[in-house]
Structure 1
């Protein structure tokens, strides 16, 4: 670890540096956002969202005005009484992830499946419209 000496001319720069470092040090886990892997091939983009312990009916996927949203809303259910719980670390929390779709994505044919704790979403690419070449004669 290296000690970095900074010269703060006023309180605003000190506060900006402090709050900027606090905001940048939050991990996705602390912000309650499940991690996503995004892959691309010739036909589609593949999103893999890690969300173990949920059911496929728990997810809500929607497309609205060029935004693709994946969400899960935790519903409080009556808890079953365990005789003597010493420690409880398992929990699920609501989340929402939103991605911007560009004009290359065929939003009408997005598909998803949930298997082994991974939500796999396929975002197919649109067929490229090819304009036939044409010779133009000069008059």
Structure 2
């Protein structure tokens, strides 16, 4: 599936919504989680199709939930600061273009350490990386 400008924009906005306080390395890890879902090898993926489809799949990346305070920024009602969106765009482009390796070891999930407790799905999953305020997992049942 070809990557179009919309995919790049939606991935960058997702990185801003999910990981704007992280380093570039932390944003790259989140972007790889999306890419791992995009490239899951299934003809029709449960995750959604392409970067935009995966990012905007309902209830997968909370920043796209209509009740999330980031949502108004992501859809353009409020303006994302240029510098912050530019950093996210750099991370998105590096991952989409394959310029950086996957630091997550194939993770398809993560959660923010700021959450009061770990999600139930993390209990039986394999932790692959902790970077900044996120913990990454694969083999989620």
| TM > 0.5 fold call | no
Which protein has greater RCO, CA pairs closer than 8 Å, 6+ apart?
2
TM-score (norm 1): 0.22
Higher percent of residues as strand: 1
